[in-house]
Amino acid sequence: MSNSGTERVPTLNIANVLTVIRIVMVPLFIWFLVADDGRDGLFRWLAVATFAVAIYTDKLDGDLARSRGLITDFGKIADPIADKLLIGSALVMLSILGELWWWVTIVILVREIGITVMRFVVIRYGVMAASRGGKLKTVIQTFAIFLFLLPLTSWLGDWAWWISATVMAAAVVVTVVTGLDYVVQAVKLRAGARGNPGRNT
């Protein structure tokens, strides 16, 4: 695996610890949603708060990794996985609760799991870090999930549902398009490594 320029950065650093904390928060988030005693219940709000804190650690670990030079191959792989666990669990739970169409959850999960598997398949040619499009996709997915987690319809009426559904539809489109872009990147990475044998050995 290519690690040029990052081999002296310790894997155990604050940015990676925050990524691991985000992963550990996922079961807590699921438990709050399962324990929810109604869409406006205390546990629902605890789930929203846990999701918000976990998303904040995503921004924080990225900022810290860049500003303090803590970018590691572990972080490049673990950070998108942590995002996928959090977002995937939110989508699955919303579908189980009957608040989100299963097809949305399945399309997004297939893309996220597929790209994760592809990252590991091409890792011998190089690490495929999150792209700008991938980061934008996570922001739109996060925003859409917040809209679905919050009891907006009971506060604001049906039009709030339409806004939530439109943002979720945008999230699905960006998720699929960026997934296809990663496939192109992976093909180029493989072709580049094959045209330059020994580069990553």
Contact residues for ligand G3P, defined by CB under 6 A: 58, 79-80, 83, 115, 130, 134-135, 137-138, 178
| In the complex, minimum distance from the CB of residue 18 to ligand G3P, in angstroms, rounded to a whole number | 12
| In the complex, minimum distance from the CB of residue 166 to ligand G3P, in angstroms, rounded to a whole number | 21
DSSP states along 108-137: HHHHHHHHHHHHHHTTTT---PPPHHHHHH
Contact 104, 168 (CB under 8 A): yes
Q: Which is nearer to ligand G3P, 36 or 78 (CB)?
A: 78
Q: Which is nearer to ligand G3P, 163 or 167 (CB)?
A: 167
Q: Which is nearer to ligand G3P, 36 or 79 (CB)?
A: 79
Neighbours of 79 (CB within 10 A): 24
| In the complex, minimum distance from the CB of residue 121 to ligand G3P, in angstroms, rounded to a whole number | 14
CA distance 114 to 178: 12
Q: Which is nearer to ligand G3P, 115 or 144 (CB)?
A: 115
Contact 147, 168 (CB under 8 A): yes
Give residue number: closest CB to ligand G3P. 134
Task: Name the DSSP letter for residue 29.
Answer: H
| In the complex, minimum distance from the CB of residue 123 to ligand G3P, in angstroms, rounded to a whole number | 14
| In the complex, minimum distance from the CB of residue 179 to ligand G3P, in angstroms, rounded to a whole number | 7
Here the tokens at position 93 are 């739970």
CA distance 123 to 56: 28
Q: Which is nearer to ligand G3P, 30 or 75 (CB)?
A: 75
